[in-house]
Structure 1
């Protein structure tokens, strides 16, 4: 039953672009990647949630992560509201599509994220030290729980200093805190220019096919690891952490080189960024990475999807500075898809998940964009068919 439907859209025209396809088994609760082969990706359709739609007295927007639960056919979508509009939360939804059309998005539930004491997270005016910055979410069918990440906070001004560490948390489907993942010292926020940059921390996470391991990606380089991405190519290395999903302990780290920022900012010294906005593991060493580039003066984002391989990458867990100790092998990567091929406005895509098997037997891939609660941006959904 549709609890809340925003309408429908039917995009009949499709665009074929090169991408690899992935063979999965038919298990309903675990994802087991098989052999990878080069195939094609076919656009099924696009849908945009209207701006500032309300659901159960909350404002729908800021959708920064998405994951699919095949047992229920539901999607979990974390909201990056820092409890400023409504308490930090995630939404549950149904997406209505097949291999020929994308009909609608139906929000079915909203769940408040809870602190260990059971309370909702406060906003930055009430208690900035406890205010989260939710960015990514995945469902673990083995433990029947959700995992979400927060980027923390780093504000250092002459008037005030707010330092909140990033975090990765296990919660129940009701939003109740269960436990947290261990945080390596390299990712502690600091008032000096050390550790993670503000808004450049845990943007992506995902489980390997057997759910024994979980990967977490930093959006941008740590201060010690070198400069941020620029318009010209440079040594912009960020990190991917590998965890034991059962013990919640880190077991490895890998360097990942970012692409240059896609377009210059206007004016030249204005804000610009390129970083990892989400990851989708395919195995214990391969994963899809989304790089999202934005520059002031250009409305749309440049979204590129890569296949990254960690198999021969160096474990840099004990390397504090990638700019000083350069004797490491980063992950290899291959461009699979550039969203500019769609020849339409593309917003701030921050989430990706595999969806259900389509009626024709092919796998689906779903992307979601964060509108930052701005009327100048869009909460977009894109559904693709993976064609062998």
Structure 2
């Protein structure tokens, strides 16, 4: 989602309610296995591209989803474009080995046009691509692209989850729970431009988690810019059956820049998710205000102990337990010279010593004042 809206003051009651819920979410559980110290991240390399570059007749930009194929070494980046600057598409690319002092800039390899059920490119405005994961079938070894569309609530287009072949052919649409697709009813369902934003496949390959950027209208969110955020629903999908089998509630930070700001509080939302293991999820939170710019923070959320909200119509404070979380990294303190609109995140090839590599990318919103930014981090402690 493009981050840029005016902020309004929230009521004291709403802020206090959210802060209380957030305090509950921050209570980190004692996990069963040892070695539960938080991971440590160190910036390895970064690089930026000016907006407006072209490749194979498309404008390169809006990169909102990122995935790495360990078998081929290729990366895939999903463009958040509703067919305005090219077809609905995904880029294949290569990234250099992250090394200090070496710019982390992509080499574009191909453009994959994502096609609808009729075999043609998706019509303009029918999809709003926001999240991407690479799925590899354990039996056949075939790799496919799992991707999420935020839809277009104002145009009565609901969010959707798709699986496509690497040539862009649509293989299936995976059914989402009705609550995530309920549009057209006042005070219910996803809010415009604040729907599916994150996607991650579990390490065993059996499930995918799909994250809403912000709360459904009925889930304690005030529904106004700058209001204290409600709980974001993150839903688990069984990939064999295509059915949702679990859901949890995640509470973003209500005041990422602190309480005193010229334009009121900046509401955080979930920009991307990634699985650390079967029991822990990494969540990238992102917020923006005209006065302070972009805030991006990485949290670790524990899946154990969170209430299964799949069958709960409306989330009310005190009647469910959100996923506990803890802060891993504030990107403003990571060593990056500039923090732009980070929306994509994926595991990369391991370092020579076996340590994992995390790569993030920004969505430039096709805005000449923004950049496409890649950043790679070494992850210790996993």
RMSD (CA atoms): 2.4
TM superposition shift of 1:326? 3.8
Structure-2 residue corresponding to 1:215: 209
Would you say the 8 A contact 1:261–1:294 is kept in 2?
A: no
Matched, 1:287 2:281: yes
Equivalent residue for 1:148? 147
Aligned to 2:373: 380
Paired residues for 1:38-57 under 5 Å: 38-57=38-57
- Distance in 1 (CA, whole Å) between partners of 2:295 and 2:171 is 37
In structure 2, the CA distance between the partners of 1:237 and 1:361, relative to structure 1 (3 Å rule), is same
Asked if structure 1 preserves the Cα contact closer than 8 Å seen for 2:215 and 2:229, the reply is: no
Q: 1:203 is matched with which residue?
A: 197
Residues 177, 358 of structure 1: alpha-carbon distance in 2 compared, 3 angstrom cutoff: same
Give the aligned partner of residue 134 of structure 1.
Answer: 129
Deviation at 1:273, TM superposition (A): 3.7
C-alpha deviations, 1:128-158, integer Å up to 9, x for none? Answer: xxx1000001101125211000001122xxx
Deviation at 1:213, TM superposition (A): 1.1
What TM-score comes out, normalization by structure 2 length?
A: 0.83
| Aligned-residue offset at 1:37 | 4.4
Question: Are positions 1:332 and 2:327 aligned together?
Answer: no
Partner of 1:120 in structure 2? 121
- In 2, Cα distance between the equivalents of 1:209 and 1:35? 19
1:106 counterpart residue number: 107
1:62 corresponds in structure 2 to 62
- The match for 1:354 is 347
Aligned equivalents of 1:288, 1:321: Cα separation in 2: 25
Alignment-derived partner of residue 6 in structure 1:
none
Work out the CA distance in 2 between the residues paired with 1:249 and 1:284.
18
Q: Give TM-score scaled by structure 1 length.
A: 0.82
Pair 1:282–1:132, CA change in 2 (3 A)? same
Gaps of 5+ in 2: 1-33
Between the aligned partners of 1:36 and 1:211, the Cα distance in structure 2 is: 23
Q: Distance in 2 between matches of 1:232 and 1:193?
A: 17
Deviation per residue, 1:262-312 (Å, 9 max, x gap): 34898738x9541000000122331000000111333x3100100001111
- 1:79–1:90 contact (8 Å) kept in structure 2: yes
Q: 1:292 to 1:235 in 2, by over 3 A?
A: closer
Structure with higher strand content: 1
Closer, same or farther in 2 for the Cα pair 1:262/1:230, shift >3 Å?
Answer: farther
User: 2:170 & 2:224 partners in 1: Cα distance?
Assistant: 38
1:151-300 equivalence runs, <5 A: 151-155=150-154, 162-191=155-184, 192-227=186-221, 234=228, 236-263=230-257, 268=263, 272-298=266-292, 300=293
Q: Indicate if the aligned counterparts of 1:230 and 1:260 stay in contact, CA closer than 8 A.
A: no
Cα distance change of structure 1 residues 213 and 326 upon mapping to structure 2, 3 Å threshold? same
CA 1:102–1:35 in 2, change beyond 3 Å: closer, same or farther? farther
Question: Residues 218-259 of structure 1: CA distance to partner in whole angstroms, max 9, x if unpaired?
Answer: 000001101159999956211110111211110011111110
Taking a change above 3 Å as real, the CA distance of residues 233 and 167 of structure 1, as seen in their structure-2 partners, is closer
Describe the shift of the 1:223–1:48 C-alpha distance in structure 2 as closer, same or farther (beyond 3 A). Answer: same
The one-character-per-residue Cα deviations of 1:335-356 (angstroms, maximum 9, x if unpaired) are 0110110363200000111100
